[in-house]
Amino acid sequence: MKFIGTRGTEEKKSFSQAILNPAAPKGGLYSPESLPSIDEEFITKYTDYKSLAKAVLKKFEIDISDESLDKALKLYDKFDTKDVVPVEKIEDDLFIAELWHGPTRAFKDMALQPFGSVLSDLAKEKNENYLILAATSGDTGPATLETFRDKENIKVACMYPENGTSDVQRLQMVTIDAKNEKVIGVKGNFDDTQNTLKKLLNSETFKNTLKEKDIKLSAANSVNFGRIIFQTIYHIWGYAKLLQNNEIKFGEKIDIIVPSGNFGNALGGYYAKKMGLPIDKIVIASNINNVLTEWVNSGVYDLTTKHLIKTASPAMDILKSSNVERVLFDKFGAVRTAELMESLEKNGKYSLTDDEVAKIKEDFIATSCSDEEGFEYIKEYAKKGYIMDTHTATAIKAYKTLNSQNKQVAYSTAEWTKFAPSLYRALIEDKQVHDKEALEVISQKYNVSIPNMVKELFEKEITQKTVVSKEEIEKEIINFL
Ligand SMILES: *Cc1c(COP(=O)(O)O)cnc(C)c1O
């Protein structure tokens, strides 16, 4: 399978080229030229997650050896459940697929665990050295550090806003003890952190240092197709699980409800549908940063009237949702995509035509959810015995308000333990407490366990102590290299 740029390409790339060097020409993203198809036999054949994953990856005909794929998929053995992604029945027509049973307790592990292994194998094979730069608001950082920890031929520099993450998220980063990884707290907010990263990529001193040391740059964010490919698998798994449990008959269409930020998870669902999975609608759940809801409902993507609002579901506090571009490309082609994205970059907005909006609506519907609404759903389901995090709650709002006739699979994208202070506000009282206290109180009151990897964080030695101002980041990274 070959990959082409969403804004046009002269040259098609292989999978390995597209993931090592994810920036496509003219600022675009690499997308598959065509998708494989799956049928009833395929969807009903596999009863364990790794076998299904291997079969899906083989369908994509990527240029990665079986040995490397097996090694990457073996990392799902580290997840704390045999199913990897358990699917729980919550209502007669609602199922929750939990994507957070990996080492950092959020859905980023689903893709980053195997992706890190594949990328490091490729770098080794080519005898090249790569630097992965990451700016994180909380979940991507820990998952990136975890997957590349002590990997050969890869170095990671990960920046986080000093006071912008939860305690658990920060501790997951600053207790990492790996020679090839540097964690840098930045005095400022997530925007400062991300802007610094962008500046760094244009700095001549920085580029020269990389050249001298013969280090190439790559990225592990969800513009990298190497993450998206692993995010098609669990959508197929969810459907197969409903079949196995006799909840649906083959061919019956379901909706999937996706708490969305950068649109990687939803894009995986869109590809799965295009491959032949019987999905009716992909439901985009947003928080009050509802640019995606507007986009689906009206075809207008408008950043000029918006500023980013901090919410209790911070992993979805995003206005420029990168992977939407891949949907535009798939539906309207490279010329139109380049035109729309150029308008977004120049004027801060674009508008789809009525025909185009109708095409988007064939696959997507969308809702947004405020923190207060989310807290109410968290409370309601806690009473029924299911504890969910703030991101998952946005999916419940979609379920409750859209009244679909289909069975629905909603994705739970983080374990509650990652956002315990917000759950404390929803379930105990409207007061700001630290993660440790919130974890203890909630776990006792609701009789839910806290996994060891979260408990241990509070006892672990802090190994990454660097906290600097924006201006000093470049120097820190160069010293590390
Ligand atoms: C990253 C993340 C999301 C958003 O996923 P996208 O693929 O970026 O849309 C939602 N919830 C949690 C907990 C996340 O970490």
Q: How does pLDDT run across 229-238, given as a tens digit for each residue? A: 999 999 999 9
| Model pLDDT for residues 27-51, shown as the tens digit of each residue | 899 999 999 999 999 999 999 999 9
Distance CA 303, CA 309 (A): 13
Distance (Å) of CA 59 to CA 1, 11, 35, 36: 9, 22, 9, 6
Distance 260 CA to ligand 1 centre (A): 6
Distance 149 CA to ligand 1 centre (A): 22
Looking at every residue in the chain, the average pLDDT score rounds to 95
Q: According to the model, what pLDDT value does residue 104 have?
A: 96
Contact by Cβ (8 Å): 143, 166:
no
Long-range contacts of 369-373 (CB under 8 A, 24+ apart): 369/285, 369/286, 369/287, 369/288, 369/393, 369/394, 369/397, 369/398, 370/287, 370/288, 371/287, 371/288, 371/311, 371/312, 371/313, 371/422, 373/397
pLDDT greater than 80 at residue 127: yes
Q: What number of other Cβ atoms are within 10 A of residue 467's Cβ?
A: 14
Q: Is the dihedral of CA 45, 47, 53, 54 positive or negative?
A: negative
Q: According to the model, what pLDDT value does residue 350 have?
A: 98
Under the banding of pLDDT at 50, 70 and 90, the label for residue 201 is confident
Under the banding of pLDDT at 50, 70 and 90, the label for residue 467 is very high
Instruction: Please tell me if the CB atom of residue 54 comes closer than 6 angstroms to any atom of ligand 1.
Output: no
Q: According to the model, what pLDDT value does residue 19 have?
A: 94
**Report field, pTM of the whole predicted structure over 0.75:** yes
Task: Return the SS3 of 154.
Answer: strand
pLDDT greater than 90 at residue 23: no
Segment 231-248 shows an average pLDDT of 98
Q: According to the model, what pLDDT value does residue 234 have?
A: 98
Beta strands in 3-137 (DSSP E): 3-5, 30-32, 87-91, 94-98, 129-135
Distance 316 CA to ligand 1 centre (A): 6
Instruction: Please tell me if the CB atom of residue 227 comes closer than 6 angstroms to any atom of ligand 1.
Output: no
Comparing CA positions, the residue from 280, 313, 321, 267 lying closest to residue 413 is: 313
Q: Count the residues in the chain.
A: 481
Q: Which domains does the chain have, with CATH numbers?
A: 74-98+226-415 (3.40.50.1100), 107-221+461-481 (3.40.50.1100)
| Model pLDDT for residues 321-380, shown as the tens digit of each residue | 999 999 999 999 999 999 999 999 999 999 999 999 999 999 999 999 999 999 999 999
Nearest atom in ligand 1 to the alpha carbon of residue 258 is 9
| Model pLDDT for residues 156-174, shown as the tens digit of each residue | 999 998 888 889 999 999 9
Distance 276 CA to ligand 1 centre (A): 24
Instruction: Please tell me if the CB atom of residue 139 comes closer than 6 angstroms to any atom of ligand 1.
Output: yes
Nearest atom in ligand 1 to the alpha carbon of residue 418 is 13
Nearest atom in ligand 1 to the alpha carbon of residue 264 is 7
| Model pLDDT for residues 206-220, shown as the tens digit of each residue | 989 999 999 998 888
Instruction: Please tell me if the CB atom of residue 421 comes closer than 6 angstroms to any atom of ligand 1.
Output: no
Q: According to the model, what pLDDT value does residue 109 have?
A: 97
Q: Which residue has the higher pLDDT, 181 or 200?
A: 181
